[in-house]
Structure 1
């Protein structure tokens, strides 16, 4: 799997886990599943950024996301 795809999937998993975590806290539950998803997403983003550190900066996140989306839509 391409590192760009791993990076984008990690971002998506991490982004979806945050509302689930807030929901669990507001219901008074411990957010086990969303915490695991956040760790998995963070590990995927961290692995991609650690493997190629110059490729993934904050300024290039949107370019990477759009390029991966364009690859899947084409």
Structure 2
């Protein structure tokens, strides 16, 4: 699997944790599921970042997202 795709998948997982956290706070319960999803998202992004063939900087992340979107959208 391509590391760009892994990084973007981790970012999507991180974004999916936001509604879960908001929902938990609105209902007055602890955001445990959101916390687990955040940890999973950071682990996926970290794995993709570490195994990327070229050293990546934070400024290259938008370009990575655009490359993955360009492959997905014909």
Please indicate the TM-score interval, normalised by the length of the shorter structure.
0.7 to 0.9
Gaps of 5+ in 2: none
CA distance in 1, matches of 2:2, 2:36: 23
Q: Please list, as runs of the form range in 1=range in 2, the aligned pairs for 1:41-60 lying within 5 A after superposition.
A: 41-52=41-52, 54-55=55-56, 57-60=57-60
Scaled by the length of structure 1, the TM-score of the pair is 0.84
Scaled by the length of structure 2, the TM-score of the pair is 0.84
Please state whether the residue corresponding to 2:62 is helix, strand or coil: helix
Q: Please list, as runs of the form range in 1=range in 2, the aligned pairs for 1:1-74 lying within 5 A after superposition.
A: 1-52=1-52, 54-55=55-56, 57-74=57-74
CA distance in 2, matches of 1:19, 1:58: 25
CA distance in 2, matches of 1:19, 1:50: 28
Give the ranges of 4+ consecutive aligned residues of structure 1 lying more than 3 Å apart after TM superposition.
none
Shift of 1:5: 0.5
Gaps of 5+ in 1: none
Aligned pair count reads 73
RMSD (Å) for aligned C-alpha atoms:
1.5
